[in-house]
Chain A
Amino acid sequence: MSSAGPPGPGDRLHIEDARAARGSRILSTGRGRREGRRAVFIAVASTVVFFTVLVVVVVNSPGWLEIKRSFFNGELFMENLPGISRAFLLNVKLFVVAEIFILVLALFLAVLRSLPGPVFFPIRILAVGYTDLFRGVPTILVIYILGFGAPALQLRGVPKSPFVWGVVALVLVYSAYVAEVYRAGIESVHPSQAAAARSLGLSRWQTLRLVVIPQAVRRVIPPLLNDFIGLQKDTALVASIGVVEAFRTAQIDSAATFNFTPYLASALLFVVITIPLARFTDALIARDRRRRQVAAAL
């Protein structure tokens, strides 16, 4: 039950590893120290030149003054940022609540799909159908259909709040994606792990709960965070059913002023949240890789 079990077939984590390895090479130059210094010099010079040219091209473009007025209006930015930030709290609430349900529901789906034996065929079919359906339908359609459709049924006890239906739609769509991530994790745990657990006398359920899932989840944390970032951005789609969150607030401000600067303010808020999470994901991937290398060396 070591944390660095041998990787199984179809392990998508290798791809993540390879990406991370490439990522860490962004700043390193390789080879000897002399060559290294020269490479650093070229890298700095090329970066400076590239961005200078980029800025010069943009600033000298014929439409720049108008773009500057309608996208980079400092006064409007400061004026609208507080309101958009307050609305952004609603996005935070949306993705935090949704993520909790997603993690649970998706794991449940993944386990259903991994059930062995012919008896469970109908359940596996259901799980496959679910993931196929909700990965296939555009998120905004699911939000629309649930947001306007479900409350219109006027059933007693069915909530009418667009916030609730926005969360439900996001949970349905994202748990389909996340279930696939979990499944990849579960399948990446080598069969010998389960076999060993069974031979120690653990039941099928105990094996799953104590041996397979802990290893599987640990391995898929980076892709899980990746989907979490996607979810954060997609909370803006809930605006379409009337929830006044950050994007919708920016739209309102923009339509009131015929200026696009408020969009920039809301984009900034999303970035401020996702970038630290992305760096955290990178760090996790790097740590995981180091651990495996150590384990392999042993």
Chain B
Amino acid sequence: MRKLLAGIAIVGLFAAACAEENPVVSTASPSPGATAADCAKGVSSYTSAGTLTIATDNPAYAPWFGGKVSQSGSPWKADPSFGRGDPYSGEGFESAVAYAVAGELGFARGAVAWIPLNFNQSYKPGPKNFDLYIGQVSYSPVRAQAVDFSEGYYDVQQALVAKRGTPITDATTFADLQSYKLGAQIGTTSYSYIVENIQPDQQPSVYDNPNDVIAALNAGQIDGYLVDAPTAYVNVLIGEVPHGEVVGQFPTIGDQEHFGMVFQKGNPLVGCVNQAIATLESDGTLDAIQKKWLKTLTYPFIEQS
């Protein structure tokens, strides 16, 4: 019995030791600075001091990320069908936005570190190994209970991709789409758009990553897939979908969908980033970046009725 008690005492000590460890994130709010850079200086919770650590998916897809992946030792896998996608390049919409925001926060180009991270890792509980995650994450109030979002940096429109000459390409209304098997990537608002708005007769197929969605279309397992319009444009342009076409884009139903950057809940950096985004918006930088990397898309609308 004594041995048993000793055992309990040891376990108890262990528990106490565990409980004493404090959470890593500091909750002290920065002093209200005049600029985003002042604001960022007041933040003490960087993943690694003096560096802005940004996470995104690997591979990083066009048109959000471009640039040739440098061969030697880069952790970035090139987008398989495009052969490009190095966040360090500053090329591609999100890479350019990230560097513009970093600049506003007072980080030089060399002080920005990119780490590859799966989308679903970005919202797991516990301390995060990045300062912010950028990767076409749409804001939603429910998601915002788990992480903090920055203000939107891009307003999203969904579009439909299919094989040229297949019957689905004639669709102009939601009703025309009812009988088709649609697909989308998991965790995307494209999927929710299908089930909430289009509501087709067949359960849409859901895939782990963009490549699998395209593979499914190429294999004829789905008739078409939904994806944000700029990605749809690139998928067809660079021939990821052979004989593919963008059938049309979808109207916004409900709140305008926008992409936001993802932060650890309570990270004071969010305020500074929002300030930076506001500056970039008002001085036209954000618009210029968008014009440079995302084509202005004029697809016909597929109407609700």
A-B contact pairs, 25 of them (CB 8 A): A49-B4, A53-B11, A53-B12, A56-B15, A57-B18, A62-B19, A62-B22, A66-B126, A70-B146, A148-B215, A148-B221, A151-B219, A151-B220, A160-B221, A162-B221, A242-B221, A242-B222, A243-B205, A244-B205, A252-B187, A255-B119, A256-B187, A258-B145, A258-B146, A258-B147
> Which of chain B's residues have a CB closer than 8 A to the CB of A257?
142-143, 145-146
Q: Is the CB of A251 within 8 A of B203?
A: no
The interface of chain B, by Cβ under 8 A from chain A, is 4, 8, 11-12, 14-15, 18-19, 21-23, 119-120, 123-126, 140, 142-143, 145-147, 183, 186-188, 191-192, 203-208, 212, 215-216, 218-222
Q: Is the CB of B19 within 8 A of A248?
A: no
> Which of chain A's residues have a CB closer than 8 A to the CB of B187?
251-252, 255-256
Q: Is the CB of B19 within 8 A of A242?
A: no
Q: Is the CB of A242 within 8 A of B143?
A: no
Q: Is the CB of B125 within 8 A of A70?
A: yes
The interface of chain A, by Cβ under 8 A from chain B, is 45-46, 49, 53, 56-57, 60-63, 66-67, 69-71, 147-149, 151-152, 154, 160-162, 239-244, 248, 251-252, 254-260
Q: Is the CB of B221 within 8 A of A151?
A: yes
How many residue pairs at the A-B interface have CB separations less than 8 Å? 115
Sorted from nearest, which 3 A-B pairs have the closest CB atoms? A255-B187, A242-B205, A258-B146
> Which of chain B's residues have a CB closer than 8 A to the CB of A259?
142, 145-146
Partner of B15, one of A53, A149, A260: A53
Partner of B19, one of A60, A70, A161: A60
Q: Is the CB of B221 within 8 A of A46?
A: no
Q: What would 19 more interface pairs be, CB under 8 Å, given A63-B125, A162-B221, A242-B183?
A: A45-B4, A53-B11, A57-B11, A57-B18, A61-B18, A62-B18, A62-B22, A66-B125, A147-B221, A151-B219, A152-B220, A242-B222, A244-B205, A251-B187, A252-B206, A255-B187, A255-B188, A257-B146, A258-B147
Q: How far is the CA of A154 from the CA of B124 in the complex (A)?
A: 40
Q: Is the CB of A244 within 8 A of B203?
A: yes
Partner of B14, one of A46, A57, A151, A258: A57
> Which of chain A's residues have a CB closer than 8 A to the CB of B11?
53, 57
Q: Is the CB of B19 within 8 A of A49?
A: no
> Which of chain A's residues have a CB closer than 8 A to the CB of B120?
251, 254-255
Q: Is the CB of A260 within 8 A of B22?
A: no
